[in-house]
């Protein structure tokens, strides 16, 4: 494949300004991520030390194969929720390597309210199990949770995708023959008791591990019976009497060692044979990405410059380069894996939507995974484009990517607005994994457009009612709308709500996609299936 030719001037004023802006965003992201991962009140560390427990990330470090990557999901989940009381949504999830096997890891974070489950904790756990199902990845649960955060029970208990979905997903994994292991370091209370109970294997630590549907306080309140934690659901009860657990361990280190030994007995997954060549580092420096991405969401840039700094050798075979030019389509490699790329270079017109739909079909024909690089303002609107059928052309693109049988991955590189988010495989469209850069913004439309639209609607409403249009009222409406959008369109808000699988730095995109694509090959390919295309 030919190598892309970069036209970026790294000494230009625009490049230096963008570079400084994006490096500041990265520093802010790193600071927030460090706090979410490691900063806790000292009393929480002291409590775990008294209990003889390791920190959650210490357990993770000992479980993973030395020197292997861990692709963490949603490290800043809940960063703008619950007054900051649930960093990381009180759990750790991601893809790692244990005993040579790619696995999903779900670990309760007992430094946060004893590992209590908030509504967003549930959402994060359900999502990681969805990833396991979609990619046929075994799951290791590191259990240490005080159970549901009861003041918010109505938000995490009754609905389809609430706490019950965790156990439904576990049952689905078992039905599919995908293995699960639980290492019980602390309490598994109420619904949490089903995590080890629904696992194929489990190990429980004597003295600190416990599994019960109702803890001692609830038992006393409900039945009047007084019982200790160990008597009710400790290691000896469950490994020698009830059979709920399989292996007792005297220490956390021993539990992890037993767990690694169990995983080593599992048959490695047979991956489907994706086309793969020898990996090659990008020809251009990935650090240039910080100077390429604009400091303003409304400014455009050439996505080819981004492609040149992420994919192998900066090589790119562009498909239909002279047609539908606001959507770049073509083939490249990443860590050797052959992939198809759809990348936005502007608003999606009729021709670019048709080009995208056709290219997606070609990727499916060739069993080529697809990477979407989003910087999209939406599909083009207006009388001319509606007359030419922009709605049905956009629908074709959506139909093609929903009907895909190849793995899809999405990187939110800049803006994501309107229905363009849908055509470019936004969150609702089952990307195997979706990650965002810190500069990312997302909304149904831009803040200024929303403010002006609402102002216009208000003006017409007042005129219909015979009211005098108050310019100050209209201006206040615009300001309130803009302020709301400023918060809710930010990358931190979207990742807090788990609209993505986490924020990553632009220079980490290559490795992130490499791990993600490798993991996706564990799930066999189905057959592409399409609905009705409106011609």
Q: How far apart are CA 215 and CA 208, in angstroms?
A: 14
pLDDT in tens, 280-302: 999 999 999 999 999 999 999 99
| DSSP letter string, 143-202 | EEE--B-GGGHHHHSSSTTSTHHHHHHHHHHHHTT--EEEEEEEEEEGGGGHHHHTSSEE
User: Are residues 153 and 232 located together in one domain of the fold?
Assistant: yes
The sign of the dihedral angle between the CA atoms of 76, 79, 82, 84 is positive
Q: How confident is the model at residue 535 (pLDDT cuts 50, 70, 90)?
A: confident
Whether residue 238 is found in the same domain as residue 325: no
- Residue 136's pLDDT band (cuts 50, 70, 90): very high
Coarse DSSP helix, strand, coil percentages of the chain, rounded to the nearest 5 percent: 45, 20, 35
The reply to whether 332 falls in a domain is yes
Q: Are 384 and 475 members of one domain?
A: no
Q: Is residue 497 part of a domain?
A: no
Neighbours of 265 (CB within 10 A): 9
pLDDT band at 411 (very low <50, low <70, confident <90, very high): very high
pLDDT band at 453 (very low <50, low <70, confident <90, very high): confident
Same domain, yes or no, for 261 and 348? no
Residue 6 domain-assigned (yes or no): no
Query: What pLDDT is recorded for position 149?
Result: 82
The mean pLDDT value for 340-364 works out to 97
pLDDT in tens, 371-402: 999 999 999 989 999 999 999 999 999 999 99
Does one domain contain both 153 and 62?
A: yes
Let me know if residue 174 belongs to a domain. Answer: yes
| Residue 101 β-bridge partners | 98
Per-residue pLDDT tens over the stretch 50-73: 999 999 999 999 999 999 999 999
Residue 3 lies in a domain: no
| pLDDT tops 90 at residue 157 | no
Is the pLDDT reported for residue 315 higher than 90? yes
Residue 333, pLDDT score: 98
Q: Count the neighbouring beta carbons within 10 Å of the beta carbon of residue 151.
A: 9
The confidence score (pLDDT) of residue 479 equals: 83
Of the residues 201, 235, 265, the one at which a domain ends: 265
Q: Are residues 89 and 196 in the same domain?
A: yes
- Contact status, residue 424 vs residue 353, Cβ threshold 8 Å: no
Tens digit of each residue's pLDDT (9 = 90 or more) over 106-133: 999 999 988 999 999 999 999 999 999 9
Average pLDDT score over the chain: 94
Q: Determine the Cα–Cα distance for residues 346 and 424; give it in Å rounded to an integer.
A: 12
What is the four-CA torsion angle of 517, 523, 528, 532, rounded to 10 degrees?
-90
Shared domain for 257 and 372, answered yes or no, is no
In this predicted structure, what is the pLDDT of residue 4?
97
Question: Which uninterrupted H or E stretch holds 42?
Answer: helix 42-50
Which of 265, 295, 313 finishes a domain?
265
**Does 322 lie in the same domain as 350?**
yes
Nearest to 421 by CA among 350, 341, 412: 412
Residue 355 lies in a domain: yes
Residue 4: inside a domain, yes or no?
Answer: no
With respect to residue 17, please indicate whether it lies within any of the assigned structural domains.
yes
Looking at residues 253-268, what average pLDDT do you find? 97
Q: What is the pLDDT of residues 204-242, one digit of tens each?
A: 999 999 999 888 888 998 899 999 999 999 999 999 999
pTM over 0.75: yes
Asked if the model's pLDDT at residue 484 lies above 80, the reply is no
Could you tell me if 62 and 147 lie in one domain? Answer: yes
How confident is the model at residue 464, as a pLDDT? 87
pLDDT tops 80 at residue 320:
yes
Q: Which two tokens stand for residue 430?
A: 């089952």
Residue 415 sits in the same domain as residue 477: no
Give me the pLDDT at residue 155, please. 83
Domain count of the chain? 3
Task: Report the CATH number at residue 173.
Answer: 3.90.226.10
Choosing from 265, 299, 331, the residue where a domain stops is: 265
Q: With bands split at pLDDT 50, 70 and 90, how would you rate the model's confidence at 490?
A: very high
421, 473: one domain? no
Task: For residues 495 and 518, give the distance between their C-alpha atoms in angstroms, rounded to a whole number.
Answer: 24
Chain-centroid distance of CA 168 in Å reads 20
Q: Which two tokens stand for residue 521?
A: 């090959």
- pLDDT average, residue stretch 182-186: 97
Domain that holds residue 57: 51-265
Which tops the pLDDT comparison, 203 or 153?
A: 203
Range 343-348 average pLDDT: 96
Are residues 532 and 419 part of one domain? yes
Can you tell me the distance from the alpha carbon of 232 to that of 219, in angstroms, rounded to the nearest whole number? Answer: 9
């Amino acid at each position: 494949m030919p190598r892309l030719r970069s036209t970026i001037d790294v000494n230009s004023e625009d490049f230096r300004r963008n570079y400084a802006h994006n490096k500041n965003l990265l520093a802010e992201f790193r600071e927030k991520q460090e706090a979410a991962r490691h900063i806790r009140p000292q009393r929480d560390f002291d409590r775990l030390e008294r209990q003889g427990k390791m920190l959650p990330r210490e357990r993770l470090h000992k479980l993973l194969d030395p020197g292997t990557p861990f692709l963490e999901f949603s490290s800043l989940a809940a960063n703008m929720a619950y007054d900051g009381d649930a960093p990381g949504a009180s759990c750790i999830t991601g893809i790692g390597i244990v005993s040579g096997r790619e696995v999903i890891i779900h670990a309760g974070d007992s430094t946060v309210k004893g590992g209590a489950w908030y509504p967003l904790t549930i959402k994060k756990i359900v999502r990681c199990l969805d990833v396991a199902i979609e990619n046929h990845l075994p799951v290791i649960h590191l259990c240490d949770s005080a159970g549901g955060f009861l003041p918010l029970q109505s938000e995490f208990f009754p609905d389809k995708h609430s706490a019950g979905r965790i156990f439904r997903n576990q049952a689905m994994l078992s039905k599919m023959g995908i293995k699960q292991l639980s290492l019980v370091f602390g309490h598994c209370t109420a619904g949490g008791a089903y995590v080890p109970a629904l696992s194929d294997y489990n190990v429980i630590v004597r003295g600190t591990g416990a599994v019960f549907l109702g803890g001692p306080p609830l038992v006393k309140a409900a039945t009047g019976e007084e019982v200790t934690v160990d008597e009710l659901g400790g290691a000896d009860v469950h490994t020698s009497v009830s059979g709920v657990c399989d292996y007792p361990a005297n220490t956390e280190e021993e539990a992890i060692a037993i767990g690694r030994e169990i995983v080593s007995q599992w048959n490695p997954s047979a991956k489907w044979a994706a086309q793969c060549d020898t990996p090659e580092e990008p020809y251009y420096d990935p650090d240039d990405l910080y100077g390429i991405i604009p400091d303003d969401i409304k400014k455009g840039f050439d996505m080819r410059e981004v492609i040149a700094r992420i994919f192998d050798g900066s090589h790119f075979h562009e498909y239909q380069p002279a047609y539908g030019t606001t959507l770049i389509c073509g083939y490249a490699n990443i860590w050797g894996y052959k992939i198809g790329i759809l990348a936005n270079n502007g608003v999606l017109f009729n021709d670019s939507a048709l080009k995208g739909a056709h290219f997606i079909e070609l990727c499916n024909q060739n069993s080529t995974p697809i990477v979407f690089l989003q910087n999209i303002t939406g599909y083009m609107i207006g009388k001319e484009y509606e007359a030419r059928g922009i709605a049905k052309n956009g629908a074709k693109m959506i139909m093609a990517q929903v009907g895909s049988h190849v793995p899809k991955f999405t990187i939110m590189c800049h803006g994501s607005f309107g229905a363009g988010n849908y055509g470019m495989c936004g969150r609702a469209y089952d990307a195997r994994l979706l990650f965002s850069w810190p500069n990312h913004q997302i909304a149904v439309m831009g803040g200024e457009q929303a403010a002006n639209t609402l102002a216009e609607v208000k003006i017409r409403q007042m005129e219909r009612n015979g009211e005098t249009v108050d310019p100050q009222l209209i201006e206040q409406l615009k300001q309130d709308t803009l302020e709301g959008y400023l918060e809710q369109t930010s990358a931190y808000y979207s990742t807090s709500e788990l609209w993505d699988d986490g924020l990553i730095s632009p220079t980490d995109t290559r490795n992130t996609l490499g791990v993600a694509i490798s993991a996706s090959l564990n799930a066999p390919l189905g057959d592409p299936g399409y609905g009705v295309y409106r011609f």
